[in-house]
């Protein structure tokens, strides 16, 4: 069993794989004020509740966009799961050639998604991730990745509306029955959701036009991706587990080499 962990700005999402099969998934909120004991004990409890014995975990891999949690998280995994995790970082084997001007600026979550999409669906592929940010990343038929678009996610936009305006309320993000809203809540929902639908269609169209890839495949993931995918026919595949699948693919590519986890943990120890 391999435990894969995606540390996002909002949630930490985990998956337990037996071979290529996802046996269970679970998540917890990303919190920078957790100790290694809290992370380790919580992971043990969640694994147990998911029907996975700690003794069955053969390895762990992490992709994180929140550096502040890594020292405690890695320490908790080492102490309570007995494994030194691989960490998605520069130097890890991906099978993808990053051609951007500054590869080190590319978030590990985006690399993981690209690896998964290219491995599972080939290229050229545009990968959409509807998370805290909405990202659009292009990988070509040879596995080259150097083009990406980043936009505010719907949750960020919604939060800006109700926090930066005096009279707009906090709302649930969902698609209203009509864009012709007649009151405040549905007007906000219409703006957020139909705005995202319009943005998504336009960006896909422009990427296809400027890249010249008329055979471009479009793959989406992320918590709010299902709602948008149902409204955008240009999206061919919605895979809610794309990031977790990508982490398992990276684990398999790197398991014959020394894990990065030991180095990262020791660096964190020396800095604390």
Q: Is 158 helix (H, G, I), strand (E, B) or coil?
A: helix
Q: Is 27 helix (H, G, I), strand (E, B) or coil?
A: strand
Any catalytic annotation for residue 109? yes
> 25 pairs with which residues across the strands?
15
What tokens were used for 237? Answer: 């595949």
The catalytically annotated residue of 109, 113, 137, 239 is 109
HEC-encoded secondary structure of the chain: CEEEEEECCCEEEEEEEECCEEEEEEEEECCCCCCHHHHHHHHHHHHHHCCCCHHHCCEEEEEECCHHHHHHHHHHHHHHHCCCCEECCCCCCCCCEECCCCHHHCCHHHHHHHHHHHHHHCCCEEEEEECCEEEEEEECCCCEEEEEEEEECHHHHHHHHHHHCCCCCCCCCCCCCCCCCCCHHHHHHHHHHHHHHHHHHHHHHHHHHHHCCCCCEEEEECCCHHHHHCCCCCCCEECCCHHHHHHHHHHHHHCCCCCCHHHHHHHHHHHC
Q: Is 11 helix (H, G, I), strand (E, B) or coil?
A: strand
> Based on the number of CB atoms within 10 Å of its own CB, is 256 exposed (0-12), middle (13-18) or buried (19 or more)?
exposed
- Show which residues are catalytic: 109
């Amino acid at each position: 069993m391999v435990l894969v962990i995606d540390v996002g700005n909002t949630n930490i999402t985990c998956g337990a794989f037996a071979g290529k099969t996802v046996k269970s998934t679970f998540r917890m909120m990303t919190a920078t004020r957790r100790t290694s004991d809290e992370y380790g004990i919580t992971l043990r409890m969640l694994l147990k509740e998911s029907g996975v014995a700690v003794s069955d975990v053969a390895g762990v891999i992490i992709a994180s966009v929140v550096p502040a949690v890594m020292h405690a998280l890695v320490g908790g995994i080492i102490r309570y799961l007995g494994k030194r995790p691989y960490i998605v970082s520069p130097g890890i084997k991906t099978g993808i050639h990053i051609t951007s001007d500054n590869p080190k600026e590319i978030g590990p979550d985006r690399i993981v998604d690209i690896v998964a999409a290219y491995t599972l669906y080939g290229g050229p592929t545009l990968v959409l991730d509807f998370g805290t940010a909405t990202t659009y990343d292009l990988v070509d038929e040879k596995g080259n990745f150097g083009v990406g678009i980043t936009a505010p996610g719907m949750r960020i936009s919604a939060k800006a509306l109700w926090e930066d305006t005096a009279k707009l309320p906090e709302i649930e993000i969902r698609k209203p029955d009509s864009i012709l809203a007649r009151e405040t809540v549905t007007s906000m929902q219409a703006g957020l959701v139909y705005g995202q639908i319009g943005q998504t269609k336009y960006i896909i169209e422009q990427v296809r036009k400027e890249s010249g890839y008329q055979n471009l495949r479009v793959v989406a993931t992320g918590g709010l991706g299902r709602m948008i995918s149902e409204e955008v026919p240009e999206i061919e595949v919605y895979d809610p587990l794309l990031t977790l699948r990508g982490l398992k693919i990276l684990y398999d590519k790197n398991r014959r080499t020394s894990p990065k986890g030991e180095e990262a943990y020791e660096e964190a120890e020396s800095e604390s």
